[in-house]
Amino acid sequence: METTIKQQENKGFAVAREGSERAGIMTYSIPSPSFIIIDHTEVELPFKGKGVGKQLLYKIVEMAREKNIKIIPLCPFANAMFKKSADIKDVLKQ
């Protein structure tokens, strides 16, 4: 499965694809150069329960580390992941 990030102006998203089929998407907004807000996660039905949401989140976390920015997880899925995954809390905006 391939996960990529696309960004333009003040919005962005990570998308996971299996071949030509979209497995899931996680969207975020960019209100400031110092942080982003993850606002939505969507996983297609055939891919539910296969770790696609986590893969999308970790791709965005990787990007945040590279850009030295923080994340506010408004999306319920992303918020739950930040609460239970200690290895990504370094990018959580306090």
The predicted-structure confidence for 25-46, as pLDDT tens digits, reads as follows 999 999 999 999 999 999 999 9
Q: Is the pTM of this model over 0.85?
A: yes
Q: Which residue from 62, 81, 63 is spatially nearest to 73, judged by alpha carbons?
A: 81
Give me the number of domains the chain comprises: 1
Chain segment 77-88, per-residue pLDDT in tens: 999 999 999 999
pLDDT band at 16 (very low <50, low <70, confident <90, very high): very high
Decide if pLDDT at 53 tops 90. Answer: yes
Structure tokens at 43: 């996983």
**Structural domain of residue 60, as residue ranges?**
2-91
- CATH code: domain of residue 30: 3.40.630.30
CA distance 17 to 5: 12
Average pLDDT, the chain: 97
